[in-house]
Amino acid sequence: MTTTETGTSAEAGQPQGLSRLTLNNAFSSGLGEMIEQAQASVVQVRRGDRGAGTGVIWQENGGIITNHHVIAHTGSRTLVELRDGQVFEAQIVDSDPILDVALLKVPANNLAAIAVADSSKLRVGELVFAIGHPWGQRGVVTAGIVSALSKVQIRNSNRQLEYIKSDVRLAPGNSGGPLLNALGEVIGINAMIMGGDLSVAIPSSTVSKWIAQLPRTRITLGVQIQSIELPPNVRSESAKDQSLGLLVVGIIAGGLAEQAKLLVGDVLIDIENTALSDATTLRAVLAQSSSKDSVQLHVLRGGKVQEIKVLLHPRKQAA
């Protein structure tokens, strides 16, 4: 009778124990497969000697999303390394310093584009994972939960920025990498660490909307630029009292700027008599000039203002 009771007790407990073990194994195995699949869509973005960040293959035809700050203000080539070791020189299709996103394009097709989820359905407490290259270590994975969903009003604007805050661990090199849900779908692009403990990501819905509004075809100058204060004499004499111009910090090989013999160190003052103080204005005037054969630039070079004619060609370059 005792043996029967012991056996019955063991038999009663055994399925329960096996059930927990099976569930744990299934979860671990599924999680590993999910991460492995997502890893194929994660790339390293390098820019000269300024270190490296992370990017996500968003489009199978070579479209890659990263942070604006990963590729900003560099005169060096932007290189993208895939997980299999292939390295491509990337063109900067467009970037938004306020959203802190950038779209790159590499000359490759049939890439492993990541699955994108609707971040507007995300809830506080959900399990999330980050993949990136902190301190140059490739494909590091960290996990956490969504801590808060925040909105920030942009100063002097009607525009609001949305952020996902989580306790996934990030470090330099993670910027531009994906924040994944438990299904392995990207719900954010990791951007920064806030307050020393919370990580901040740009929602995937924000990124998708930004990409959707980009023009399908556009003319770009083929320069990397940053705003700079103009000398007082230029403000008063040649620049209609404007205080800022655009310093050329990089020239894209084969672009319109190279063909027009623009130089690193030139300061763009105006284009078609429209003052230039930000990249948005430059892009807008180029778009409006798409039917023209050329545009005129006023450029500060060696302390003197020069007029440079830029021939327009219907090709995509970085600007």
**What residues pair up with 43 in beta bridges, in sequence order?**
55
Amino acid at 91: Q
SS3 7: helix
The DSSP line for 226-256 is EEEEPPHHHHHHTSTT--EEEEEEEE-TTSH
Q: In the annotation, is 100 catalytic?
A: yes
Catalytic residue among 41, 95, 119, 175: 175
* 236 phi/psi in degrees, rounded to 5: -80, -35
Q: In the annotation, is 243 catalytic?
A: no
Q: For the chain, state the CA radius of gyration.
A: 25
Q: How far apart are CA 120 and CA 123, in angstroms?
A: 8
Q: How far apart are CA 298 and CA 310, in angstroms?
A: 11
Q: In the annotation, is 175 catalytic?
A: yes
Contact (CB, 8 A) for 187 and 179: yes
Q: How far apart are CA 231 and CA 313, in angstroms?
A: 32
Q: How far apart are CA 107 and CA 202, in angstroms?
A: 26
Q: How far apart are CA 113 and CA 193, in angstroms?
A: 26
Catalytic residue among 69, 76, 96, 167: 69
Q: How far apart are CA 250 and CA 137, in angstroms?
A: 28
Sheet strands side by side (includes 78-81): 87-89, 78-81, 42-47, 52-59, 63-66, 101-105, 91-96
Catalytic residue among 41, 68, 100, 205: 100
Q: How far apart are CA 162 and CA 152, in angstroms?
A: 6
Q: How far apart are CA 190 and CA 163, in angstroms?
A: 10
- Give catalytic residue positions: 69, 100, 175
